[in-house]
């Protein structure tokens, strides 16, 4: 559930309610929020969101790197000398 508010300066803010957060995980999250974000929950939520987006980017980059490694390994392989090459593909494989 989200509740929209407008302050005196005309800025709009959103209050967000989260339910069924496992207690032990909440205590960990809240402790990090107090320690690293001066107990400003929206700042921690935004930071967590940005970290999740970076994690997706890193995962994608790692997949791309692995794909490039495989392609490079194929390029470095010695060509087979006893293979007859045709337009339809290699024979004798």
3-class DSSP state of 7: coil
Give the domain ranges of the chain: 40-75
Rounded Cα gap, residues 61 and 79, in angstroms? 30
Q: What is the pLDDT of residues 63-91, one digit of tens each?
A: 999 999 999 988 887 777 777 777 776 55
Residues 6+ apart with CB under 8 A from 15: 2, 3, 5
Give the model's pLDDT for residue 89. 62
Among the residue ranges 22-26, 35-39, 75-79, the one predicted with the least confidence is 75-79
Give the model's pLDDT for residue 17. 87
pTM metric for this prediction: 0.63
């Amino acid at each position: 559930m989200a509740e929209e508010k407008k302050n005196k300066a005309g800025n709009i803010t959103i209050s967000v309610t989260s339910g069924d957060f496992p207690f032990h995980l909440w205590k960990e999250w809240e402790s990090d929020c107090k320690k690293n974000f001066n107990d400003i929950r929206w700042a921690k939520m935004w930071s967590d969101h940005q970290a999740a987006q970076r994690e997706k980017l890193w995962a994608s980059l790692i997949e791309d790197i692995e794909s490039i490694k495989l392609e490079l390994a194929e390029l470095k392989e010695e060509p087979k000398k006893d293979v007859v090459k045709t337009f339809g593909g290699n024979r004798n494989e």
